[in-house]
Amino acid sequence: MAIERRNFWSKLFDLPRNNESYVPYVLSLKFIWAPVTYALFSFINNVRSLFVDVVHTDDDLDHDNPSTLISNAPVLYKHTQLIRGLSSTTERDVLHYMVRSFKSNSYSKDDLGNTPLTAFLAQHVFTKQKEYLEVGHKEVMSVLSKLAELAQRSDSAKRLLLTPNQPYREITAEAATLGVPVNTPLMLLVKAGDIEGVNLLLPFYSAADLMKSTPRGNSVFHIASITGQEEMLNLLKGRATELGIWNQYQENKNNAGYTAFDLLGALITTKDFFKNLLDFSDAYLGGEEINKVAITNQGTHSVWMARKGAINFNQGLTSDNDSAEMNQDVSVTLPRY
């Protein structure tokens, strides 16, 4: 019997006839219909998730065993694997994995001793600035916004927002010199230059939390100053003023003996406009502290690029001080009736 000749597209929508091979049909199922079906079900699941929002409380988290949710809990704390290994889960699942794991085992068992949140942020923050702005920022804010909402009613979630990593080994003077990193979530966001993220977390930070420094004695104000982040500096100043620690903040020195204002002054007065900012900052921070991956971009980020922000912030402070002095003079000289 003669075999009927049909083109591929005819075969695609029909079953084999006579002695035709099944190969084209198997290939079409594997490479065309399977991805289409998968995409359709994924779309339906995503739409459903928009309308199904379960409210969790701290009590809910107490009754969940993270070991039943994550086959290998320590994987959460590895920068390169934290969320990648959980890519099949939703953002809401990732959020609750973090809180549950933090309650049962606050720090990873490696040298860095990350919390689930500091590991998550470090994975996203220590990338090139362009990559962070295009991808990392969106992912970070998606998790942080939900975590901040949960922190309103969960002490564990709130502590997760405040707790820095805790390196496994003791931070001796030598270790501090070598630059063993200790970063609060806020510090990581400042290093990333993430204004929106910092603005979200600042209300949770008390005076003591805001004053926490790295082993080299650098506060978030030091980091924002040496990188010339004008808007970030204004945010930090506003919160420090609210908490009544602005004067203390200005006078706080790092281990190298510099205040944040010393760093601003160094940026403003330097003539090394085209020096790499990473090299310039080391002398004032006591070593490498800023996010070198984000700010260097193959060494093109210079002192000049950070200097403008430092000048603008300093001018803003000068204007505020002049206005305050004028108001005091007016209040003294106005006649009383």
Give the separation between CA 284 and CA 263, rounded to whole angstroms.
7
Question: At 259, phi and psi to the nearest 5?
Answer: -85, 170
For 67-107, the pLDDT digits (tens) are 333 222 233 333 333 444 444 445 556 777 788 778 777 77
Give the separation between CA 240 and CA 233, rounded to whole angstroms.
10
Q: What confidence score (pLDDT) does residue 33 get? A: 59
Pair 186, 204: CB distance under 8 Å: no
Please give the sequence-ordered ranges of beta strands (E in DSSP) within the chain, or none if there are none.
none
Give the separation between CA 193 and CA 301, rounded to whole angstroms.
14
Pair 75, 69: CB distance under 8 Å: no
Please give the model's pTM, rounded to 2 decimal places: 0.67
Tokens of 253: 């020195």
Q: What confidence score (pLDDT) does residue 278 get? A: 80
Q: What confidence score (pLDDT) does residue 174 get? A: 64
- The alpha carbon of 152 is separated from its chain's Cα centroid by a whole number of angstroms, namely 20
Question: Which one-letter amino acid corresponds to residue 308?
Answer: K
For 261-308, the pLDDT digits (tens) are 999 999 999 888 878 788 888 889 988 788 766 555 544 577 888 888
Other Cβ atoms less than 10 A from the Cβ of 277: the count is 24
Give the separation between CA 287 and CA 78, rounded to whole angstroms.
24
Q: What confidence score (pLDDT) does residue 302 get? A: 76
Give the chain's length.
337
Tokens of 245: 């620690």
Tokens of 223: 């980091």
Neighbouring residues of 329: CB distance < 8 A, sequence distance ≥ 6 = none
Q: Where do the domains of the chain lie, and which CATH numbers do they carry?
A: 71-125 (no CATH), 182-329 (1.25.40.20)
Question: At 169, phi and psi to the nearest 5?
Answer: -90, 160
Give the separation between CA 156 and CA 61, rounded to whole angstroms.
9
Beta-bridged to residue 259, according to DSSP, are: 253
Pair 94, 143: CB distance under 8 Å: yes
Q: What confidence score (pLDDT) does residue 253 get? A: 95
Per-residue confidence in pLDDT tens, the chain, 337 aa: 455 555 655 555 555 555 556 566 555 555 555 666 666 665 565 444 334 433 444 444 444 433 333 222 233 333 333 444 444 445 556 777 788 778 777 777 666 788 889 888 888 887 777 777 778 888 899 889 999 999 999 898 999 999 998 866 666 666 555 556 789 999 999 988 899 999 999 999 999 999 999 889 999 999 999 999 999 999 999 999 999 999 988 899 999 999 999 999 999 998 888 787 888 888 899 887 887 665 555 445 778 888 888 899 989 887 766 555 545 444 444 333 3
Q: What confidence score (pLDDT) does residue 260 get? A: 94
Question: At 4, phi and psi to the nearest 5?
Answer: -75, 125
Give the separation between CA 153 and CA 37, rounded to whole angstroms.
40
Give the separation between CA 151 and CA 160, rounded to whole angstroms.
9
| Reduced DSSP (H G I as helix, E B as strand, rest coil) percent helix, strand, coil of the chain, to 5 | 65, 0, 35
Question: Which one-letter amino acid corresponds to residue 227?
Answer: T
Q: Is 268 exposed, middle or buried (0-12, 13-18, 19+ CB in 10 A)?
A: middle
Q: What confidence score (pLDDT) does residue 119 get? A: 86
Question: Which one-letter amino acid corresponds to residue 193?
Answer: G
